[in-house]
Chains A and B, each alone.
Chain A
Amino acid sequence: MEKIKVKEVDNVVVLFAGDSGDGMQLTGTLFSNVSAVIGNEISTFPDYPAEIRAPQGTLGGVSGFQVHIGSSKVYTPGDLADVFVAMNPAALKTNIHKVKKGGVIIYDEDSFLENDLTKAGFTTDNPFVELGVSETINLIPTQLTTLTQKSLEGFGLDGKSILRSKNMFAFGLVCWLFNRPMDKAEHFLENKFKKKPSVLEANIKVMNDGYNYGNNLHLSIPTYTIERSSDTKPGKYTSISGNTTTAFGLIAAAEKAGLELFLGSYPITPASDIMQVLARRRDLGVKVMQCEDEIAGIATAIGASFAGCLAATSTSGPGLALKSEAIGLAVMSELPLVVIDVMRGGPSTGMPTKTEQTDLLQALYGRNGESPAVVMAASTPDDCFHYSYMAAKIALENMTPVILLTDSFIANGTSLWKLPKLADMPEIKPNYVPADYKNYNAVSRNEETKVRYWAIPGTEGFEYRNGGLEKDYVKGSISTAAVNHQKMVDTRAEKVQNVKYSIPELEIIGNEDADLLVVGWGSTRGHLMDAVSSINEKSKNVALAHFNYINPLPKNTEEVLRKFKNIVVCELNSGQFAAYLRSKIPGLNIMQYNKVQGQPFTAIELEEQFELILKK
C-alpha cells in the first residue's frame, strides 16, 4: 500500500460554498456531524442569501457553510478556511478572501466554463489570476459534474437529480481529505433520506465514489487527521443549532415549572425555526399558534400568560419593534413572558439573513413610559438552551417580561451540545399567590421582593382585574394619583433590579491586573476569547469580561470594571452596550471597537485591535 501524507492538526476550518440550490448547507451539516461524532469539537456558521433561489451562478445566490473542527475547545467557526470547496465561480469570488495562505481550494472544473465565469462577472478565462489568488494556495480542479454523472450511470435518475447529487461527491472527497469515517457518514445520510430510498442509494454511491476518487488518485495534497478533543467532557452529545436549543430551553422550563408551554409567533427570518421546532412538540402538549401578525404573536402569548401558561413569543428585530406596545402591557400587568429576539441586520428589513447585535437598545428602552424589562443574551448555539431556560425561570419567578437576545450567527450556527437531564436543571418556582392570601388584587405582591403574586384564572376566590392602566399600590384599582404613580414606577423598576441577586456575578477571564479589559456581550464571546487567549499566550496583558445578563447587570459589575484603567467594548453595532455601560457606571475609560457588516468579528481583527491599544 502506498503511503499517503497525513498532516496532524489541532484544528481546521472548512468552507463549502455554491449556489443556494447546490446543497451546501446539507453538505456542511453532514461534515460537521461526522466530525462531532468522532469526538471533535465543532462550531459552524451557515451564511446564506435572503433569496431562496437567486439566479443560478450569480454572486447574489451564493450560499456558504463554514465549519471549524478541533481537537481542543473551539469557540468560533474560524476566521479563515484551510480548505474551501467552491462549486462555481461566483462562490469563488465571494469567498476567496476567507481562504488561508497555504490553503486548499477544491473546485468544480465543469462549472468554471466561459458562461459560468461571465455570470460571476469574470472578464478573463482565468478567475484565479483575475482574483490574484495567492500562489501558496493549492488548487485542486475536480470534474465534479462529470464524475457525478458517471457515478450514477444506470441509476435511471433524470439529469436534474444527478446534478443535485454532486455535493455528495464533494462531501465524499472532503471526508477522504480529513479521514472521516464513511460508515458514520452513511448513517447520517440514512437518517436524512430514510423516506426516499432511491435518493439515499444514489447519494451513498456518489459520496463513496467521491471518497474513493481522492483515495485512488492520490491527489497531491496531504490529508488531515484531527484527534478527538480532550476538552470535551465525557458524555452524550449532539450537534445542534441555537434556535433549536432556544426552543428546547422553553420546553424544559415549562416541564420543570409544571406549566403548559404556549408560543405565539409569526414567521420571520432568522427566528422561524424556534416556532417550527416547538410546533412539532404537540406530543409534549406545547401550544404553538402561528398568528396573523407579530402583534398577535405576543398578544396571544400575553393572554396565555394571564391564563396560566409559560408563555413566549419569538421574533427578530422588526418584529420586536411591532411588539413594543404589548411588552409594555406585560410590564404594566406584571405577567411572566419570554420574548426571544433573534437579531439580524437592520434597520427596517435590513439584511434578514445576516448577523448583528443592533437591537440591544431597542430591547432595553424601546417602549413608551418607564418600562423596565429583564434583558439577557446568549453566547453560543449550545448555551441558548441555558439562557432560554433561565429567561423562563426569571420571568416566572419575578413576574416580568424577559427579553432574550440571540442572533443569526448563533441561531443558525451549530455546536456540540452535551445532552442535559431535566433533573439537573435548577428548580423553577412561579410566584403563585399563597392559597390563604386575603383580599387579593392586581397588585398584591411580596413586599420584600416586590414580585406580584400570580393568580391563575379558574381559581376560586382570586378573581381580579388586570390591565394596562396605572393601579393603586394598595387597592389595585385604576389610579392617576401623582405620588402613587411614582411609587408604582419605582416598584416595577426595583422588582426588575432585584433579579441581580439571583444571577451569577461577572467573572474576569484572564489577569485582573491586565492593562486592558475587553468587554463583550452575547454571541461575540467565542471570537473575543480566541483573540484574548492568543494575546495572553505572549503577554498576559488582556482580560475579558463577557456579559449575558444586561438588565439588570450582575451586581459586581461596577466593582469589577473600576479595577481597569482601559476598557474596550467590542460589539457588532455602533456602540450600544458601551453607551449603556457609560450611563450605568459613569467615569470609566471606555473605548469601542464596533463592526456593523452583517458578519461576526474575526479573532484576527480583534487581536490586531487589542495590540494597537496596548501599544498606545
Chain B
Amino acid sequence: METKILTYTAKDFKSDQQVRWCPGCGDYAIVNSLQKVMADLGVPPHKTAVISGIGCSSRLPYYMKTYGFHTIHGRGAAIATGVKAANPDLTVWQITGDGDCLAIGGNHFIHSVRRNIDINVLLFNNQIYGLTKGQYSPTTLKGKVTNSSPYGTIEEPFRPAELTMGARGTFFGRLLDVDLKNAQQVMLEAAKHKGTSVVECLVNCVIFNDGAHGYLAERNTRPDRTVFLEHGKPMIYGVNRDKGLILENGRLKAVTIGENGITEADILVHNAEDPNPTLHWELAMMQGPDLPIALGVIRAVRAETYNDALDKQIEEVKAKSKIKCFDDLVDNLEQWEI
C-alpha cells in the first residue's frame, strides 16, 4: 500500500490576517516559531485547533490557518479541555497570558493540569496586563510600579512552574522569545508530550514592561545566565560550556568544570522523566546571579491522559453493557403495560 507522506511548511499554518501586535512585541517570535513547529510536527492544519482566552497573546488564533477559537477571559483552558475531550483526534493548543491563565483563569489552569488533558499550553508571560494598558499581573515582581500599583505592588508573584508542579503537572518547559531555535525545540517536545504540556514563554512587552526579561535577553550574557536543559544530557552551560550544576547538601550549585577538581562526570544529568518532581522544582526555581535560569524541558513525565482514560472507560463500559442505543435504554427501564 502506498502511503502518502504529507509535508508542510510554516506557510501552511499562516492565515491571511495581518498580525497586529505592537512593533517589537515578543509575541511575533512565538507565533512564527509555532507555525514552524506545526509544520515540523506534521499534523495537518485541519486537525489542529488553537484555543485562546483574552489578552494580547490570545489574538494568536486569528493568525493561524487552522481551526481556531478566541474565547473569553480566563476560560481558554476549560474550552480547550472540552475540545480535546470531545474530539481527541485534534491536536489542541491553548494560547494564554499571565493574566488570562493565572489570575482569572487560575482555577481552570490548575484543574486542566491536574486532569492531564492532552493539550499544549503556551503561557505568554510578560509579567504585565498589556491589552488593558499596563496593570500588574499575578507574575509581576513585587514592588513593581505599574498603572494599578503607582507605589509598587505589595503582592508576591506566582511562579508558573510551581503552580504546574503543585497541580501535579506532567510537563513543564520554559522558553525565551529571542531564543528562536531553542524555543522551537521546547514547543515541539511539548506537542509530542501526551498530557497537559505547560510551556512558559518569557516574552517582552515593549510598551508596558520593556526589559522584564532583560537579564536573559542579551545575546552576549545569556549563555552564562541560562542553562538549556535537555533530557539525558549534562546540565552544562556558559559561553565556554565550562559551567555546570551539581547537587551539594541537597541543593543545586553552579560550578566550573576544571576548578576545584570538578570534571564533566560530576555534572548532573537531566532526567526530565523522573516522576519525583523535587529536582525539577529546584531547577525551575533557579535564579541569578548565583544560579542560571533554566530554559528547555524541565519536566516531561509519562502518565495517562484524561482523554485517553475517558475513551478507555467508554470502551470498557460499552463492551459490558447490553444498552447499545436509546431504545435499549428505555427497554431496560422498569416498566409495565397499561
- A residues in contact (CB < 8 Å) with B: 33, 36-37, 39, 188, 191, 228-229, 232-238, 240, 248, 251-252, 255, 260, 262, 264, 281-285, 287, 289, 291-293, 295-296, 299-309, 311, 325-326, 328-329, 333, 419-422, 456-469, 477-478
- A contact residues around B318 at 8 Å (CB): 282-283, 285
**Do B313 and A299 have beta carbons less than 8 Å apart?**
no
A333 to B72, CA, bound (A): 11
Cβ 8 A contact of A465, one of B69, B323, B331: B69
Q: Which residue from A229, A234, A285, A477 sits with its C-beta under 8 Å from B17?
A: A477
A460 to chain B, nearest CB (A): 4
Given A188-B334, A283-B324, 11 new contacts (CB under 8 A): A240-B333, A262-B85, A282-B318, A287-B310, A287-B314, A296-B107, A303-B82, A308-B86, A422-B327, A460-B44, A465-B70
Contacts of A303 in B (CB 8 A): 51, 69, 78-86
**Chain B residues positioned under 8 Å from A262 (CB to CB):** 82, 85-86
Question: Contacts of A458 on B, CB cut-off 8 Å?
Answer: 46-47, 67, 87, 89-90
Residues of B within 8 Å of A188, CB to CB, are 334
- Contacts A191-B334, A284-B326, A458-B47; A464 near B86 (Cβ below 8 A): no
In the bound assembly, the distance between CA atoms of A306 and B66 in angstroms comes to 13
For A233, the closest partner residue in chain B by CB is B338
Is B107 within 8 A of A255, CB to CB? Answer: no
User: By the criterion CB–CB under 8 Å, are A329 and B46 in contact?
Assistant: no
Residues of A within 8 A of B15 (CB): 465
B66, B87, B317 — most chain A CB neighbours (10 Å): B87
**Cβ of B13 to closest chain A Cβ, rounded Å:** 10
* A418 to B, closest residue via Cβ: B338
Q: Which residues of chain B have C-beta atoms less than 8 A from A329's C-beta? A: 71-72
Which A-B residue pairs are the 10 nearest by beta carbons?
Answer: A303-B82, A467-B70, A283-B321, A300-B82, A299-B78, A304-B86, A465-B68, A307-B87, A282-B317, A303-B79
Given A283-B318, A420-B330, A457-B49, A468 and B87 touching (CB < 8 A)?
no
Instruction: Give Cα A422 to B328, complex, Å.
Output: 10
Establish whether residues B75 and A295, one from each chain, have CB atoms under 8 Å apart when the complex forms. Answer: yes
Known: A304-B82, A458-B90, A467-B71. A232 touches B326 (CB 8 A): no
Whole-angstrom CA separation of A300 from B81 in the bound complex: 6
A463 close to B45 (CB less than 8 A): yes
Q: Answer yes or no: B325 CB below 8 A from chain A CBs.
A: yes
Q: Does B65 reach chain A (CB closer than 8 Å)?
A: yes
Q: What is the bound-complex CA distance between A512 and B35, given in angstroms?
A: 67
Q: Flag whether B237 is at the interface (Cβ < 8 A).
A: no
Q: Can you list 23 A-B pairs with a CB-CB distance of less than 8 A?
A: A33-B334, A234-B337, A234-B338, A236-B338, A238-B334, A238-B335, A248-B329, A251-B329, A255-B326, A264-B78, A282-B317, A283-B323, A303-B80, A304-B82, A304-B83, A306-B79, A306-B82, A422-B327, A457-B83, A458-B89, A463-B66, A465-B70, A468-B72
B144 at the interface (CB under 8 A from A): no
> In chain A, what residue has the closest Cβ to B66?
A463
Residues on the A chain within 8 Å of B334, using CB: 33, 188, 191, 238
- A462–B65 CA distance with the chains assembled, in angstroms: 10
- Report the number of A-B residue pairs with Cβ-Cβ less than 8 Å: 205
Asked whether A468 lies within 8 Å of B46 as measured between CB atoms, the reply is no
**Contact (Cβ within 8 A) A457 B336:** no
Q: Could you tell me which residues of chain B, from 100 to 124, have a CB within 8 Å of some CB in chain A?
A: 107-108, 111
Report chain B residues within 8 Å CB of A248. Answer: 326, 329-330
Bound-state Cα–Cα, A301 to B78, Å: 9
Task: Kindly state whether residue B61 has any CB partner on chain A within 8 Å.
Answer: yes
A191 CA to B62 CA, complexed, in Å: 56
**Which listed residue (B68, B79, B317, B337) contacts A302, Cβ 8 A?**
B79
Determine if B61 and A465 form an interchain contact, defined as CB atoms under 8 angstroms apart.
yes
* Interfacial residues of chain B within 20-68, with CB under 8 A of chain A in the complex: 44-47, 49, 51, 54, 61-62, 64-68
Whether B107 contacts A292 by the Cβ 8 Å rule is: yes
Q: A326–B108 Cα gap in the complex (Å)?
A: 14
Residues on the A chain within 8 Å of B320, using CB? 283
Contacts of B338 in A (CB 8 A): 39, 228-229, 232-237
Shortest B182–chain A CB gap in Å is: 29
- Residues in B whose Cβ lies below 8 Å from that of A260: 86
Distance of A26 Cα from B125 Cα, bound (Å): 56
Q: Which of B64, B72, B78 has a CB less than 8 Å from the CB of A325?
A: B72
Contacts of A33 in B (CB 8 A): 334
Contact between A299 and B108, CB atoms less than 8 A apart: yes
- List of A residues within 8 angstroms of B66 by Cβ: 463
Known pairs A228-B338, A238-B335, A326-B72; A464 contacts B67 (CB<8 A)? yes
For B82, give its contact among A284, A299, A328 (CB under 8 Å). Answer: A299
Specify the chain A residue showing the minimal Cβ separation from B20: A478
Minimum distance in angstroms from A161 CB to a CB of chain B: 26
A421 contacts across to B, CB distance below 8 A: 327, 330
Given the known interface contacts A300-B79, A421-B327, A468-B70, the answer about A311 and B86 at a Cβ–Cβ threshold of 8 Å is yes
Inter-chain CA distance A572–B33, complex, in Å, is 58
- A303 to B75, alpha carbons, bound, how many Å? 10
| Complex Cα–Cα for A306 and B90 (A) | 12
Q: Closest CB of chain A to B320's CB: distance in Å?
A: 8
Q: Kindly list chain A residues whose C-beta atoms are within 8 Å of the C-beta of B108.
A: 292, 295-296, 299
Would you give the shortest CB distance from A467 to chain B, in whole angstroms?
Answer: 3
Tell me whether A287 and B71 are in contact in the complex, defined as CB-CB below 8 angstroms, given that A234-B338, A238-B333 are known contacts: no
Question: What's the Cα separation between A217 and B61 when bound, in Å?
Answer: 79
In the complex, are the beta carbons of B87 and A419 less than 8 A apart?
Answer: no
Q: Is the CB of B47 within 8 A of A467?
A: no
Interface centre among A262, A300, A420 (most CB of B within 10 A): A300
Contact A299 B17 (CB under 8 A): no
Contacts of B45 in A (CB 8 A): 463
Known A303-B51, A422-B327: A463·B65 in contact at CB below 8 Å: yes
Expressed in whole angstroms, the Cα–Cα distance for A328 and B313 within the complex equals 33
Q: How far is the CA of A328 from the CA of B72 in the complex (A)?
A: 9
Q: Smallest distance from the beta carbon of B295 to chain A beta carbons, Å?
A: 30
B335 touches A237 (CB 8 A): yes
Q: Bound complex: CA of A419 vs CA of B336, how far in Å?
A: 10
Which one, A234, A281, A457, contacts B90 given CB within 8 A?
A457
Q: What is the CA–CA distance of A530 and B81 in the complex, to the nearest angstrom?
A: 48
Contacts of A264 in B (CB 8 A): 78, 82
- How many angstroms between the C-alpha atoms of A421 and B15 in the bound complex? 47
Tell me the complex Cα distance, A464–B75, Å: 20
Chain B hits for A463, CB < 8 A: 45-46, 65-68
- Residue of A whose beta carbon sits closest to that of B81: A300
Closest Cβ neighbor of A301 among chain B residues: B82
In the bound complex, do residue A285 and residue B314 qualify as a contact, i.e. CB atoms below 8 Å apart? yes
- The interface residues of chain A lying within 8 Å CB-to-CB of B61 are 465, 467
Contacts of B79 in A (CB 8 A): 299-300, 302-303, 306
